[in-house]
Amino acid sequence: MLASQLGHTQTVRLSLDSGAEVDIAAETGFNSLLLTNSRCHSDIVEMLIKNGATGVNISGPMNEIPLMQSRYSRRARVVRLLLESGAHVDAVDKKYHSSLLIASSHGHTEIVTMPLASGAQVDIAICYDSTYYTHVLLALLFHSI
């Protein structure tokens, strides 16, 4: 749904009211939830989820899920929505980065607490720059805690 990617809230609302499919993926591998979330349209992300979007765990070309994208931009409201909708808190992308790692390495303290409260594993070793670290060590390395 191009309107969701471009942030056209009224058009998305009209499309959904007319029966538009919310989970169709483009040839690139992105579904409307992934595209919308990557463009920081949190109101539309919420609208898609409330209208039955089930793509909270569908990954894009880099194996990232919407929860990982939310970590980059400090959108606590969207992170909460995605977690409540069943987003996999310990999923990793092609570089083995989890949403917790992304949030902690960017210093998003408020957002880090959400996956922790949802049971995210903190003792997983992740390869970064040819060395294995835990989330806590990486957060210290990036001066996030």
- For the chain, list the domains and their CATH numbers: 2-141 (1.25.40.20)
How many CB atoms neighbour CB 86 within 10 A?
Answer: 10
Which residue has 């009211």 as its token pair? 17
pLDDT of residue 106: 74
Q: What pLDDT, on the 0 to 100 scale, is given for residue 128?
A: 63
Q: Two tokens at 91?
A: 């999923």
- Sign of dihedral through CA atoms 71, 126, 120, 30? positive
Q: Mean per-residue pLDDT for 124-130?
A: 66
Contact 24, 31 (CB under 8 A): yes
Please tell me whether residue 42 adopts helix, strand or coil conformation: helix
Rounded to an integer, the average pLDDT of 98-110 is 77
pLDDT at 145 (0 to 100): 52
Confidence of residue 18 (pLDDT cuts 50, 70, 90): very high
| Residue 84 pLDDT greater than 60, yes or no | yes
